[in-house]
Amino acid sequence: MPVELVIFDIGNVLIEWNPERYYDATIGRDRREAMFAEVDLHGMNDQVDRGADFRATIYETAERYPEWRDEIRMWHDNWIELAQPAIEHSVRLLRALRAKGLPVQALTNFGIGSFEVGEAHYPFLKEFDMRHISGHMQVIKPDPRIYEMVEECCGFAPEAILFVDDRVDNIATAEARGWQGHLFEHPKGWADRLVAEGLLSAEEAA
């Protein structure tokens, strides 16, 4: 079926998300590895992505690990430094699709508070026709329920949806529901896919 709706993930598709890189630069790799081995920071972030309070969740975690208190609080206080830079080619592709009049939506694991910080820093996050934010939905990818909620909301046949995400498990769940998937590895590959689908010309995808 021809593509009628394109859905973007955000982290590592439109914005680089690499907390480990931030901490390596800030506290050094050895200390970062020790902290991540002791504290389930990504699990903490999953709670935020499911709708838990951004600041409270991180600060409460910091209090449980006093030896890492300041470093854990950075996850909140310096969050935008963990989520940068924008992947400019992907942003151009988003805008090119919208310029062609194709519906473009977002489906992302993102907290309520962290998304507010993100869209204040990255105005293009306001440019989607619709945004499906896990924090508001209280379920995260790759839970099949979040894809079902998108289908209920957007009204497109699953087979008409092209979904780009950087994680194999997220793509696999989408494809199991009938969506067309693209595993994002670099923006050139995503651009080539959009050209192959006939959604953009090579010039528009550059």
User: 183-204 pLDDT, tens per residue?
Assistant: 999 999 999 999 999 999 999 9
At residue 3, the pLDDT reads 97
Q: Is 81 left (phi over 0), alpha (psi -120 to 50) or beta?
A: alpha
At residue 138, the pLDDT reads 98
Instruction: Say how many C-beta atoms besides its own lie within 10 A of residue 97's C-beta.
Output: 21
At residue 9, the pLDDT reads 98
At residue 182, the pLDDT reads 98
Q: Is 133 helix (H, G, I), strand (E, B) or coil?
A: strand
Specify the pTM. 0.96
pLDDT digits (tens, 9 = 90+) for 74-105: 999 999 999 999 999 999 999 999 999 999 99
Q: What is the dihedral of CA 136, 137, 139, 141, to 10 degrees?
A: -90
HSE, CB side, 13 Å, CA atoms: give it for residue 98: 18
CA–CA distance, 49 with 123 (Å, rounded to integer) = 20
> Of the candidates 152, 126, 121, 129, which has an alpha carbon nearest to the alpha carbon of residue 139?
152
Average pLDDT over residues 139-162: 97
At 1, the pLDDT band (50, 70, 90 cuts) reads confident
